[in-house]
Structure 1
């Protein structure tokens, strides 16, 4: 969970001053400088934002954007609060815990329409539903215990009904756990399970009572209130970047690779194709547009987390989400 002390200290620092005007501007005009803090390292999950940078889509909107990599020790809520970055990407629990502490941060859009987190088991275990987890060894990262509790709660089970073990895919293959959490977007990591001769079964959090979205764009509430126009232009550029990445995945991965020589392009390309097909574009984006967020889903998620004792019961979607940027932005329906 996010450190209350560090975040409350960070919350007292105002973000960098806004400069310039939005829109397409001539080369001599001053552009608005914006830092985007990613939740994770440069990879396929940030392809749309990187394409928007490399193709000049941010520049077209009058924005001079710098994209900062995240990583396992990154705390993007703190970095947005402190002004290290004006915009950051993060995950639903971090936003909820921030709101639970009264921190002035909200989301204004979500690149991923569904959080990918999924639980895998080998076919011979015959684990076809979450109800089948009772008495089983369930593997996940320590930070995923709340998600495990929420999924169990949806099926009428308690955390005490399982044995929780910190594990990843190798733990499943080595019979250390019966079920393990992973991300279908990580095609290379999951390959041994997907190719298992006895088949495999899955239960996603999305299909089991926890309809998180993911890769939420967040900003300080005062920035959303004072400069929603800039955030709308940012979102429009990301929209264009993700559309280009979807239509030109090989080129998009080349752009990602230009930011980090450590990635393996063939593996990231496979991941990008899954990300685009299953998580960026869905029925929701076809109806409502890129980066759509549902208040009803936020309310349901908050109620679930309150029920399992993770947050205060009085929190609502309005405490975590401001829709004015989505309303203002011209977004692609795809």
Structure 2
């Protein structure tokens, strides 16, 4: 957004940040004592506290969470408090250690942890129907509007996103030798300065901040060009799903209500981000407004959510996600990655929540 891009965001951007060593230590630390201590379900007076690991800083990206909290939906759902833990993080280590009960992550991060480390976690819903990854370019520079426009160009790719970028190439029949991969960090100034023609970025972040500098931009979204996978996924451990099912369902109800409000009145959520939840971050209102518009119009809502409700992942989108992960060398099945039965039950029990558009 308006903040300087931090090298730390590689932990949010890809599952490569969940190192084998770190996850093994986390799994080793995850025992019955931790699980019992972190469990928030089963109390006679409600669910107690829940900790939600956010994937990034407290900006407009978590508009629904702010409204679920401030409008009392978490309280209505039986939680004495829901702690919004700022990222960046993929959330996997925190989940398996038991320090949080739910994490907002993405299919690449979760799929990698499941496939490579046998992490006992599953996606139970998703905020974003489409992932926000893009090849960002300057309209008067590289102007990369189609995959073939990358041929012959210099593309800035962060180390942690290399496998994902190569999957984009493979999905579009482009050989690595047809372009130049330039190792970069997460600061898009290399694009603005002309050191690269394209840059792996987020539609809701660098694309907006570069344009705000008076530089017209062109985007090549991964989701529209061969790599559609879900992001900002609600993820929980297998143990929490088994032992605290009703707690997770109540949490999802509160989240659906919060995001329904955020879609109906994004300005209210942005005000909360600026004045309260992200008040110490130096957020720029105009950038946050644009981020919310992109998220609401392009990433969160779709014909599937119109028909079946927010956070749903259709069978087709599941298969598209798995195909995208396979292209990045991540071998998982739908049963390994998803458990959408909780969300199905939520909508069966609360059919009125499907109509988020009112």
- 1:33 aligned partner: 49
Instruction: Indicate whether 1:88 and 2:115 are aligned.
Output: no
SS at match of 1:322: coil
- 1:46 aligned partner: 62
- 1:182 aligned partner: 201
Identify if the C-alpha distance between structure 1 residues 138 and 61 changes in structure 2 by more than 3 Å, giving closer, same or farther.
same
Superimposed CA distance per residue, residues 250-275 of structure 1 (whole angstroms, 9 cap, x where no aligned partner): 22122223122224251223322221
- 1:152 aligned partner: 169
Partners of 2:228 and 2:292 in 1: CA distance: 21
Partners of 1:263 and 1:294 in 2: CA distance: 38
Shift of 1:105: 0.4
RMSD of aligned alpha carbons? 2.2
Instruction: Indicate whether 1:259 and 2:259 are aligned.
Output: no
The 5 Å alignment of 1:1-334 reads 1=16, 2-12=18-28, 13-14=30-31, 15=35, 16-20=38-42, 29-72=45-88, 74-100=89-115, 101-124=117-140, 125=142, 127-165=144-182, 166=184, 168-186=187-205, 188-192=208-212, 195-196=214-215, 200-257=217-274, 258-261=276-279, 262-266=281-285, 267-308=287-328, 310-312=329-331, 315-330=332-347, 331-333=353-355, 334=357
Shift of 1:200: 4.4
Shift of 1:277: 1.9
TM-score by length of 2: 0.82
Shift of 1:283: 1.4
Shift of 1:122: 2.9
Q: Is the 8 A contact 2:46 2:79 kept in 1?
A: no
Shift of 1:68: 3.3
Identify if the C-alpha distance between structure 1 residues 30 and 109 changes in structure 2 by more than 3 Å, giving closer, same or farther.
closer
Shift of 1:140: 3.1
TM-score by length of 1: 0.88
Superimposed CA distance per residue, residues 201-249 of structure 1 (whole angstroms, 9 cap, x where no aligned partner): 3211011111111100100012112222211111111111111122222
SS at match of 1:297: helix
Shift of 1:69: 3.0
Shift of 1:172: 1.9
Identify if the C-alpha distance between structure 1 residues 97 and 50 changes in structure 2 by more than 3 Å, giving closer, same or farther.
same
State how many pairs are aligned: 321
Greater Cα offset, 143-152 or 125-134: 125-134
Partners of 1:260 and 1:126 in 2: CA distance: 33
Partners of 2:189 and 2:340 in 1: CA distance: 41
Partners of 1:71 and 1:60 in 2: CA distance: 26
Shift of 1:307: 4.3
Partners of 1:20 and 1:307 in 2: CA distance: 41
Partners of 1:224 and 1:145 in 2: CA distance: 33
